[in-house]
Amino acid sequence: MTRDDALALDADDPLRSLREQFSLPAGVIYLDGNSLGVLPKATPARVQQVVQQEWGESLIRSWNTAGWITLPQRVGDKIAALVGAGPGELVVADSTSVNLYKVLSAALAIAETDAPAKRVILSERSNFPTDLYIAEGLAAERGYELVLTDEPEQIEPLLAEGNVAVLMLTHVNYRTGRMHDMGALTQRAHAAGALMLWDLAHSAGAVPVNLKGNGPEAEAADFAVGCGYKYLNGGPGAPAFVWVHPRLADRFWQPLSGWMGHAAPFEFTSQYRPAPGIARYLCGTPPVISMAALECGVDTVLAAEAIPGQGLAGLRRKSLALTRLFIELVESRCAGHGLTLVSPREDAHRGSQVCFAHDTAGYPIMQALIARGVIGDFRAPDILRFGFTPLYTRFVDVWDAVEHLKQVLDSGEWREARFNQRAAVT
C-alpha cells in the first residue's frame, strides 16, 4: 500500500462527502473521536441561534415555542435509530455515570423481586472504571457481590453458576477496542435468568448496534446507556443517553425521581408519580444548549443514511477498512520498535479503534505524535489508543499517521524531556 493507493481509496469512498460536515483544524490528523468527537460545522450556528434567539429573544417562552421541553425525547429518538431501539424508548439526560446508576438500580430492584436468590453483579475487570465504581457502590448498598472476570471466556461459565442477577458489560472495550457479540451474550444472560445491561459509550454512532435484536425476544437487551461526546460528536461533556426495554421501563421508579421524570411535572403535586415509559428516567431540567449541540452531532451520523446503500452498515465497512489498514501499516512499517497490537485482529471482534501497547514509552510516543498533529491518546499503563471515526477519517490520514509514527520511532524524538511530562488528562 502506497500513499497514492490510500488516496485512491479515498477517491472511491462513497462516504467521503460526510467529512464536509466537520470543522477539522488544518494540519491535524484526528484519531481521538472515540474520546471527543470533532466539531460539526452546523453546531456553532445552532448554538448561537439557541442562545441569541431562543434564549435571548424568546426567553422562557422557548420551553414551548422552540420545543426545549421535548429535546430529551427528540434527540433520544434520533439516537434510538442508531442503536436498534424504537421511537419513544430512549432519552437524553445527565451523564453516562448517572444513567448507569439509574439503570443498575432499576435492574437490581427488578432482580430483587424476580430472582431474590441471585446476588451477583457480573462485569469485567477491564470495564471502564466509572461502570465498576457505580456497580461497587450499588453492590455495597444493596447487598450484592460484584464479580469481575479477567477474560471474556469466563463470562459464560460464571453465568451458568446461576447466581448472576445482572450482567453489566461495555460493548466495545475502551482500552482494547474489543467488541462483544451483543445478541449472543444477551441471550446467554437471559437463559441464566440474569438481566443484561450494555454500556454503548464506544459503540453508538461507530458500529451497528441492535439492542432489540432481530431474532428471539431473549436477544433483546434490558438496559443501555451511552455517551454523547464520543462518536456522536455532541461536544465536551455532552449529555448522555439511557434506554430501557419497554417491557421493563414501567416496572420500577428509578432512584433519581426528579420532577422531569414525573408524569405531570407542571401539576406541581407534592407526591411523585413516575411518567410512563422511559420519560421517568429523566431527572432535572435538561441542559438545552448542550442538547442542541448534541442534536447537531447526532445528525452528522444520521447523514450517512442519506447516502444510498450506506448508513451505519457503510460506516462500519469503512471503519473496518481503516482499522485494518492501520494495523497492517503499523505492523509492517514500524516493526522492531516494541509495539504490540492489543486490539483484536478479527474484524468481528474489533470496534472502531486500534490500540498498541509499548512497554516503556507509550506516553511520550503519543505526546511526540500529538506535537506533530496526529492526535490519539494514552491509557495507563502502556496503551497508545487510536480512534477511527469513519465520518471524517480518510485512508490517507491513516497512511500519514503511520508515517509520523514511524518517524517518531525511528528518530527517537519521543525521548525529549517535553514529551515525558505527564499532563492531568492523558
Q: Which stretches of the chain bind ligand PLP, using CB under 6 A?
A: 95-97, 128, 130-131, 170, 174, 199, 201-202, 227, 240
Nearer to ligand PLP, 231 or 395 (CB): 231
Judge whether 199 counts as a catalytic residue: yes
Q: How far is the CB of 361 from ligand PLP (least distance, A)?
A: 24
Among residues 161, 149, 170, 224, the alpha carbon closest in space to that of 188 is found at 161
Catalytic position from the list 32, 199, 222, 397? 199
d(CA 385, CA 176): 8
Nearer to ligand PLP, 311 or 387 (CB): 387
Judge whether 128 counts as a catalytic residue: yes
Q: How far is the CB of 111 from ligand PLP (least distance, A)?
A: 22
Q: How far is the CB of 95 from ligand PLP (least distance, A)?
A: 4
- SS in 3 state form for 375-414? ECEEECCCEEEEECCCCCCCHHHHHHHHHHHHHHHHHCHH
Judge whether 78 counts as a catalytic residue: no
Q: How far is the CB of 54 from ligand PLP (least distance, A)?
A: 26
Catalytic position from the list 22, 30, 101, 128? 128
Nearer to ligand PLP, 49 or 95 (CB): 95
Judge whether 385 counts as a catalytic residue: yes
Which amino acid does the sequence have at 320?
A: L
Catalytic position from the list 102, 212, 230, 280? 230
Q: How far is the CB of 203 from ligand PLP (least distance, A)?
A: 9
Task: Tell me the DSSP string of 13-80.
Answer: -TTGGGGGGB-PPTT-EE--TTTSPPPBTHHHHHHHIIIIIIIIITGGGHHHHT-GGGHHHHHHHHHH
Task: Tell me the DSSP string of 344-380.
Answer: -SSGGGB-SEEEEEETTTHHHHHHHHHHTTEE-EEET
Nearer to ligand PLP, 281 or 419 (CB): 281
Catalytic position from the list 19, 280, 379, 385? 385
Q: Which three cell numbers mark 149?
A: 472476570
User: Nearest 10 degrees: CA dihedral of 330, 124, 185, 279?
Assistant: -110
Catalytic position from the list 229, 281, 388, 392? 229
Nearer to ligand PLP, 47 or 98 (CB): 98
Residues involved in catalysis = 128, 199, 229-230, 385
